[in-house]
Amino acid sequence: MQSFSSFCRSLGAMRQAANTMLPSHSPAATHQLPTSPRRSTRPAPPPPCPCPRAGAAPAAESLLPGCLRAESLPRHVAVVMDGNARWARARGLPSAAGHEAGRRALEETVRLSRAWGIRALTAFAFSNENWSRPKVEVDFLMRLFERVIHDSVAEFLREGIRLRVIGDSSRLPVSLQKIAREAEETTRNNSQLDLTLAISYSGRRDIVQACRKLAQKVQSNALAAEDIDEALFADELETSCAADEFPYPDLLIRTSGELRLSNFLLWQSAYSELFFTNTLWPDFGEADYLEALCSFQSRDRRFGVRKL
């Protein structure tokens, strides 16, 4: 079996070889959904570790690229999946083609997260503000979410992935609500990866609804106002049951070159490390994920405390 250092070198060679086989941009190739060019300024990842760390989970450790350190991986990764429509427009394709390509990127990110030992992954699939998009696009997305959840349950059971869906479910189609509830119940005992899909989600709304719940408890004398603290407040957020062990993202990734959170996990991301990439979400793959994780591992997280 090849060493982890050899694996990383082989990965780079295979990526270079794959680039030479990309379909051309001639009219005959326009429907092959080619990958957009990569940036040439990507920094080189840290040198490979000489060997895996002892004591990590065997399944994850055996698949972890040598350039990553198991002991300093983020436990919880959140992703703002942005750029599907722009990806499609650049190829003269309808937005639906971009969303389908984005689905494949999410499936790959889930696979890599599970293989590398990430414990929780939260994906921003549809914001509360996205309801203002054209109805034909919104309807397509609702059907896509329904299909993806339905078709993924068997794999989630095989791979030990627990699914949660957060957001304003009252606005979702009844059929999507039903499939989401069934998938959550079916996968509730899985423990290898917590996958949370944020659909019709708003960080501001999440904070407001938490305030309302606490106010109701105070009004009914179930809670004294002076007893409210950050822990009690966090318990009322939608993410309180979405990633029980890891409620706050250690790393938040946003694609497509936009430099903002866009109303995503506003309370929860207070001390998240942020990583922004120009890569459009459908093109986000293993090399991009590795870059984000290597960046995370290079940072000194102090949480406001000065180290002496």
- The catalytic residue positions are 82
Contact (Cβ atoms closer than 8 angstroms) between residue 254 and residue 192: no
The dihedral over CA atoms of 43, 49, 50, 52, expressed in degrees to the nearest 10, equals -150
Distance CA 302, CA 285 (A): 29
Contact (Cβ atoms closer than 8 angstroms) between residue 192 and residue 161: yes
What residues have CB less than 8 Å from 14, skipping those under 6 apart?
none
- State both tokens at 276: 């922004």
Contact (Cβ atoms closer than 8 angstroms) between residue 8 and residue 67: yes
Contact (Cβ atoms closer than 8 angstroms) between residue 92 and residue 30: yes
Rg, C-alpha atoms of the chain: 21
